[in-house]
Amino acid sequence: MSKRPLDEGLNTIKGIITDMADLAVKTVEASVGAYVEGGALEVQVRAWSDALRSMHSDIEEVAVELLARYQPVAIDLRTIKSSMKIAYDLSRFGRYAYDILHVLQLLNGYKRTELKDEFIEGMSKKVLEMLRLSVDIYKRKNFDRVEDLSQMENEVDDMYRRHLKAMAENPPERAAKCISDVLLTRHLERIADHACYIVEEVYYMVHGRSMYFR
Amino acid sequence: MISRRVREKIAFTFLRLSALLVLVVLVAILYYIVSNGIGVVSIGFLLRNPEEGMTRGGIFPAIVGTVYLVALTLLFALPLGVSTAIYLSEYARGKNDRVVMIIKMATRILAGIPSIVYGLLGLGLFVLFLNLRFSILSASLTLSFLTVPIIIAASEEALESVPMSYREAALALGATRWQTIRSAVLPYALPGIMTGSILGLSRAAGETAPIMITGVAYYLPRLPTSLFDQFMALPFHIFTLSTQSSNPQLTRPVQFGTVFVLMALVLVMNLAAIVIRSRYSRLRA
Amino acid sequence: MKAVSNNNLKIQSKNLNLWFSEKHVLKNVNIAIEEKRVTAIMGPSGCGKTTLIRAFNRMNEIITGCRTSGEVLIDGKDVYGLDTDVVDLRRRVGLVFQKPNPFPKSIYDNVAFGPRIHGITRRRQLDDFVQFSLQEAALWEEVKDRLNDSALSLSGGQQQRLCIARALAVAPEVVLMDEPCSALDPAATAKIEALMRKLTQNYTVIIVTHNMQQAARVSDFTAFMYLGELVEYGETKKIFENPENELTEKYITGKFG
């Protein structure tokens, strides 16, 4: 099997996605960490988020060139299509990570300790676990832990809904806390969703058929 | 060690000399005949009967005899030769049948048999066995046997040179094999067939031995009116004039004149063949 | 039996085997061609794709030493049966060759050749056949004022369309095309590919191509053959997006040896 001109492009894409995946995990970790423990990481997270955006754009450029020049089919075509989608999902992580810290910045003046919340901490730990699992599935292209991911997704969903209900029935005294909690849980829930989308795309890439978590 | 360039020059010079030699021989023959014969040939020579023991007069009956002979030979040989060629080339194509191989080999061998042997065949078969007697019929049948292998060979080659794609195209349109041959092969093989046939006939026009023992006569008072009549012919006329003349001095000019006429006839036929071939190959391209 | 759907099957082969002398060229081919669609047959050189389509109109029998077993059903009737009229079969199933091969006759006479050998002699009728066929083959506008010119004066792409018109003039039901664009430039190729799609209005089109992208562009169904066997057959979209067979995948992604 000789190396095709297409292979170089495919390897480039694979490399960038791997880098993006690691960076995305790092970015969300930093953001959640800063929220929970404190630390002025807005600038750093902002920079990483921008880097993720630019890497997504690079992947699109390479992908379009491969499509135009080589008319790829079958697994090559699916790889390219899925890679574009996965790159988008990974760049969203950067965005959400930035949004999480941005919420805190907007509501500045309030001490962190006033906004801290054990529930949110728990939810963010779970979401981080999902994120790491999703990236792992991408790297190994192995689906034996898909059930676990599905279960975690349900739990996160459940947590989100319960929390909203609780907020509506028992709003906290400080409006700022209420707003920040709602926004945060929302972002965390979206991160969980995108982690699942990534795995759906990986499945399509490998098997040529679609799968859905719901 | 002679250099390559010198060797090439030597080779080319040799080749050129050979070609030149052939040309010289041809020109010499033509010159000899034309210079000696042209004075003799006139309208009167062509249209008058021989007089006074061939010393004067013309060769009209010999011309007529040769023309009849060629026409009849064409009539017998062409259909037979072309049909056989079509069979061998189109219907038996690829069949490595014993029969087909034998027929093909036979035609090759037949083309090389000496004409006197054909003459003997004609004598035995037509003159005696079929009791056709010494006649223009026997002679032309004999000559057609002689000409058929040439026509078969030329026709086969012509048919085989028609591109296979024409046949395939016709067959793919639902043509039967005969329709394919008739509409998509034969028209394009025709120039080759005609050329080959004319060349074969021009050879037949000049044959002496076969007609000698099947029906040609030295002198006849009348032109042949039926197939069973005897006839005069140009090549035999030349033969008798050169070997059995009563007065060689006087008959020599007649002889040259006759040779001239025969050569002219052969030349015209060959030229016709060449012209036809070139015209049709221009159309093809 | 690799059938895609069971509706409107024009041609079906059942355990079709073919030998040229000792060489086993088609091995147990079972394929079902849907009517009024374009089906492409692709594969590397020597895989038997040309032999397969020529088996549909029994053109392989021109070559000596050809032997077949199995059935080829057209509209349900086996064309290798003893009562088949091969000449009529070839009228119903036309064939366009790889290299354009018009007769060295006029454009008119080329197209009229088919009808003439099938008994149409009246000038009026022939004129109609010629015009209709040339229009079907998208060549009429270009040649309508010079029907008596020699066919050989046309460009390669035009000659190929002329051959298509010639095949259409006998009112076939199926049109087989053996790598029809391989001798043509891209512009002429594009015209013929558009023509293939247009022809599906009235004819079943089967093309052989070693150009995969052409098969992907032009066909509704694609078959992949290798060493005389039918490896995979299905809707073109499926074959090129997610083929079932590993060999097919290797071939279409260019990973063959």
ipTM: 0.92
From the list A87, A89, A94, the residue with the least C-alpha distance to A31 is A94
pLDDT level of residue B60 (50, 70, 90 thresholds): confident
Mean pLDDT over C97-110 rounds to: 94
**Mean pLDDT over each residue of chain C, to the nearest integer:** 93
> Which chain C residues have a beta carbon less than 8 Å from that of B172?
57, 59, 90, 94-95, 97, 167
Task: Report how far residue A120's alpha carbon sits from residue A126's, in angstroms, rounded to the nearest whole number.
Answer: 10
Domains of chain A (ranges, CATH numbers)? 5-207 (1.20.58.220)
Mean pLDDT over C90-106 rounds to: 95
Among the partner residues B95, B173, B283, nearest to C113 by beta-carbon distance: B173
CA distance A7 to chain C (A): 11
Look up residue A88 and give its two tokens: 């988008």
CA distance C169 to chain B (A): 9
> Which chain A residues have a beta carbon less than 8 Å from that of C212?
73
- What's the pLDDT score for residue B103? 83
CB contact set of C81 (below 8 Å; sequence gap of 6+): none
Output the pTM of the full model. Answer: 0.83
Task: Report how far residue A66's alpha carbon sits from residue A78's, in angstroms, rounded to the nearest whole number.
Answer: 12
Domain count, chain C: 1
Domain coordinates in residue numbering, chain B: 59-284
- What's the pLDDT score for residue C249? 94
Token pair 């009112």: residue: C171
Sign of CA dihedral A69, A72, A78, A83: negative
- What's the pLDDT score for residue B86? 92
Task: Report how far residue C179's alpha carbon sits from residue C252's, in angstroms, rounded to the nearest whole number.
Answer: 17
From the list B146, B162, B145, the residue with the least C-alpha distance to B89 is B162
Asked whether residue C137 is assigned to any structural domain, the reply reads yes
Asked whether residue C156 is assigned to any structural domain, the reply reads yes
Neighbours of C184 (CB within 10 A): 21
pLDDT level of residue C193 (50, 70, 90 thresholds): very high
Asked whether residue C113 is assigned to any structural domain, the reply reads yes
Give pLDDT tens digits for B219-239.
888 888 888 889 999 999 889
Least confident of A189-203, B265-279, C7-21, C164-178: B265-279
- What's the pLDDT score for residue C214? 93
- What's the pLDDT score for residue B241? 85
pLDDT level of residue B97 (50, 70, 90 thresholds): confident
Residues A160, A187: contact at Cβ < 8 Å? no
- What's the pLDDT score for residue A111? 55
Q: Is the pLDDT of residue C22 over 50?
A: yes
Q: Which regions of chain A are under pLDDT 70?
A: 1-2, 108-116, 214
Question: For B262-280, b where at least 16 C-beta lie within 10 A, e where not — what string?
Answer: bbebbeebeeebeebbeeb
pLDDT level of residue B244 (50, 70, 90 thresholds): confident
> Which chain C residues have a beta carbon less than 8 Å from that of A74?
240-243, 249, 252-253
- What's the pLDDT score for residue B285? 47
**Residue B53, helix vs strand vs coil:** coil
Least confident of A118-132, B38-52, C94-108: B38-52
Task: Report how far residue A128's alpha carbon sits from residue A26's, in angstroms, rounded to the nearest whole number.
Answer: 10
Among the partner residues A4, A6, A75, nearest to C249 by beta-carbon distance: A75
Look up residue A176 and give its two tokens: 């700022």
CA distance A71 to chain C (A): 8
Mean pLDDT over B137-156 rounds to: 93
Rounded to 10 deg, the angle between the B186-205 and B60-86 helix axes is 140
- What's the pLDDT score for residue C2? 45
Asked whether residue C2 is assigned to any structural domain, the reply reads no
pLDDT level of residue B82 (50, 70, 90 thresholds): very high
Residues B158, B280: contact at Cβ < 8 Å? no
Residues A163, A185: contact at Cβ < 8 Å? yes
Neighbours of B89 (CB within 10 A): 21
C-beta atoms of C113 and B183 within 8 A: yes
- What's the pLDDT score for residue C3? 47
Residues B192, B277: contact at Cβ < 8 Å? yes
Q: Is the pLDDT of residue B280 over 80?
A: no
**Host domain of residue C201:** 9-252
pLDDT level of residue C4 (50, 70, 90 thresholds): low
Look up residue A87 and give its two tokens: 């790159």
Q: Which fold has domain B59-284?
A: MetI-like fold (1.10.3720)
> Which chain C residues have a beta carbon less than 8 Å from that of A71?
213, 216
> Which chain C residues have a beta carbon less than 8 Å from that of B186?
none
Task: Name subunits touching B (3+ CB pairs < 8 A).
Answer: C
> Which chain A residues have a beta carbon less than 8 Å from that of C240?
73-74, 77
- What's the pLDDT score for residue B96? 67
Alpha carbon C134 to chain centroid, angstroms: 18
Among the partner residues A76, A208, A209, nearest to C253 by beta-carbon distance: A76
Q: Which of B161, B165, B173, B281 to mutate to test the interface with C (most CBs of C within 10 A)?
A: B173
CATH of the domain at C138: 3.40.50.300
Of the CA atoms within 13 Å of residue B275, those in its CB half-sphere come to 6
Which stretches of A40-177 are assigned E, i.e. beta strand?
Answer: none
CA distance A146 to chain C (A): 22
Give pLDDT tens digits for C67-81.
999 999 999 999 999
Asked whether residue C1 is assigned to any structural domain, the reply reads no
Which one has a higher pLDDT value, C4 or B263? B263
C-beta atoms of B173 and C90 within 8 A: yes
CA distance C29 to chain A (A): 24
Asked whether residue C4 is assigned to any structural domain, the reply reads no
